[in-house]
Amino acid sequence: MVKVGLLVRLEAKPGKEQAVADFLRGGLALVMEEPDTVTWYGIQMGPSTFGIFDTFAEDAGRKAHLGGKVAAALMANAEELFSAPPAIEMIDILASK
């Protein structure tokens, strides 16, 4: 059962939309190495608005993910790809199926 998650909003710089989409697709391989990440989604919400939604059974898994390879790659590429810093929100899961 998942109890916590992350919701990350990413706004691509003009002309970097495809690079952000490719970055998110490539992130899946890194997340597959994280046993405590229950679900991970790279999403697109608009022409230049992207995001990540992921879930964890416990806060320890979420903390491990925030210190993992995807988070490091996200921050390393933030200035090049995004018009604003990633907006990372820690969320509690109230219900899931």
CATH number at residue 66: 3.30.70.100
Look at residue 73 in the predicted model and tell me its pLDDT: 93
Please state, in angstroms and rounded to a whole number, the distance separating the CA atoms of residues 61 and 88.
Answer: 16
Residue 18, domain member (yes or no): yes
The pLDDT value recorded for residue 51 is 98
What average pLDDT does range 65-88 have in this prediction? Answer: 95
pLDDT per residue as tens digits for the range 8-49 = 999 999 999 999 999 999 999 999 999 999 999 999 999 999
Q: How confident is the model at residue 91 (pLDDT cuts 50, 70, 90)?
A: very high
Edge-first strand listing for the sheet containing 87-92: 37-44, 49-56, 4-11, 87-92
Calpha distance 23→63 (Å, rounded): 21
For the chain, the domain total comes to 1
> Residue 13: which domain range?
4-92
In a domain, 55, yes or no: yes
Q: Give a yes or no: residue 19 inside a domain.
A: yes
* Residue 63 phi, psi (nearest 5): -65, -40
Is 97 within a domain? no
Which pTM does this prediction carry? 0.93
How far is it, in rounded angstroms, from Cα 35 to Cα 57?
11
Q: How far apart are alpha carbons 70 and 68 in whole angstroms? A: 6
